[in-house]
């Protein structure tokens, strides 16, 4: 597929919902624990797999080690929004993109200025004391050494992210399902159509086109009406050139 086909498909759409996959965050410099090399390094350094550490059970029973991991592997590798995020922001400003849905916790869409970003698993940029409700930004969390304690009541400040073993907030499931159901186009960036993010949205989608931009080819690509093999950060901005 050429860039003109992509541009025509996007500009002829009136209600695009964009799904941002994990490869988008990884390409922006965010830590990806699903990467086999990263997972191996984590197990060697901490004695536990990333899945074990980033779980509700581990957070509740080993908070010191959890936050050591959280600071070194998450907060120190937040990455930066890329050209594709800013292209989505421009499309939102023009009324084309109505929502951006992601499972990433790094807040990349909002950092790029996108207003309607549904962060299904929450964001490291939102932190809250579960006891008194005090809110803290990511700078506070980064400055804390070890376990972060609330300056008001002394309770442990909780990142507002979904850990393994926890339920996704119902309002986020409802919002992502509604937006997917209202879309005339699904724009899938940085994941296959077999990913959890894509499958959960496609089952509600009743629109006209599915557009896929992903670096890795997958047998499910045939489901898409338009499929582009490449990094979204390289491909998507081309619609404005």
| Cα-based distances in Å from 102 to 121, 131, 149 | 8, 28, 29
Same domain, 188 and 92: yes
Residues of the chain with pLDDT under 50: none
Residue 118, H or E segment? strand 117-119
Rounded Cα distance, 178 and 206, in Å: 11
Q: Specify the pTM.
A: 0.95
Same domain, yes or no, for 227 and 115?
yes
41 and 156 together in one domain: no
Domain count, the chain: 3
Domain of 63, in residue numbers:
36-77
Last residue of some domain: 62, 77, 92?
77
Q: What is the pLDDT of residue 231?
A: 96
Query: Distance between CA atoms of 54 and 41, rounded to whole angstroms?
Result: 15
pLDDT of residue 2: 86
Instruction: Indicate which CATH number applies to the domain containing 10.
Output: 3.40.50.1220
Same domain membership, residue 175 and residue 144: no
Query: 16 and 113: one domain?
Result: yes
Give the residue numbers marked as catalytic: 121
Residue that finishes a domain, picked among 50, 77, 104: 77
Q: What's the confidence (pLDDT) of residue 35?
A: 85
103 and 171 co-located in one domain: yes
Q: Residue 1 has what pLDDT?
A: 65
Q: Are residues 157 and 202 in the same domain?
A: no
- Are 41 and 23 within one domain? no
pLDDT value at position 147?
A: 98
DSSP per-residue letters across 19-61: EE-HHHHHHTT---TTSHHHHHHHHHHHSS-HHHHTBHHHHHH
Task: Please name which of 185, 187, 135 lies closest in space to residue 160, comparing C-alpha atoms.
Answer: 135
Clarify whether residues 219 and 174 are in a common domain: yes
């Amino acid at each position: 597929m050429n860039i003109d086909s992509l541009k025509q498909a996007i500009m002829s759409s009136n209600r695009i919902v964009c799904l941002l996959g994990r490869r988008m965050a990884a390409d922006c410099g965010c830590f990806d624990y699903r990467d086999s090399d990263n997972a191996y390094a984590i197990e060697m350094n901490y004695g536990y797999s990333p899945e074990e550490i980033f779980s509700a059970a581990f957070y509740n029973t080993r908070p010191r080690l959890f936050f050591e991991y959280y600071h070194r592997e998450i907060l120190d590798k937040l990455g930066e929004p890329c050209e594709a995020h800013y292209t989505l922001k421009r499309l939102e400003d023009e009324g084309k993109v109505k929502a951006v849905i992601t499972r990433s916790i790094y807040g990349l869409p909002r950092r790029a200025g996108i207003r309607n970003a549904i962060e299904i698993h929450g964001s490291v940029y939102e932190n809250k004391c579960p006891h008194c409700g005090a809110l803290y930004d990511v700078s506070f969390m980064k400055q804390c050494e070890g376990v972060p304690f609330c300056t008001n009541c002394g309770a442990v400040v909780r990142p507002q992210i979904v850990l393994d073993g926890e339920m996704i907030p119902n309002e986020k499931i409802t919002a992502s399902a509604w937006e997917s159901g209202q879309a005339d186009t699904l724009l899938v960036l940085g994941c296959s159509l077999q990913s959890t993010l894509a499958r959960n949205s496609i089952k509600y989608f009743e629109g006209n086109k599915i557009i896929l931009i992903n670096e890795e080819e997958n047998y499910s690509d045939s489901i898409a009406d338009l499929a582009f093999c490449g990094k979204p950060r390289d491909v998507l901005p081309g619609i404005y050139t």
